[in-house]
Amino acid sequence: MIPLSEYAKVYNKLCLYYFGDSIDFINYLIEERKTYKEKFSDIEVFICCEDKLFENFKDKEKVLCRSELVKSKNKFAYVREVKQNFNNII
């Protein structure tokens, strides 16, 4: 649990993680961040993927690998796994 004093620093940070091996789906999640930004302007959306796939996305903004998420999970107010249908979490 995040202490309240720390939560104030991360309340608007959301991390969606997908640990499958579909590069196309990760690209889809990255593109869908625009939808979040339009609907919730003060939310910062990060995407997390497997370490082995991160090489494909390391130049993208707000994309991190699984090992980084483990180290920095307290930097997010909300961490959610996405398995198949992105529309189910909005």
Domain extent listing, the chain: 4-81
- pLDDT for the residue numbered 86: 52
Mean pLDDT of 53-82: 93
Q: Which of 29-33, 70-74, 81-85 has the lowest mean pLDDT?
A: 81-85
CA R_g for the chain:
13
Residue 1 reports pLDDT greater than 90: no
Compute, in degrees rounded to 10, the torsion defined by CA atoms 2, 34, 84, 74. -10
* CA contacts within 13 A on the Cβ side of 11: 7
Instruction: State the Cα–Cα distance between residues 7 and 77, nearest whole angstrom.
Output: 7
pLDDT digits (tens, 9 = 90+) for 4-48: 888 888 889 999 999 998 999 999 999 999 898 899 889 999 999
pTM: 0.84
Cα 37 from Cα 43, distance rounded (Å): 7
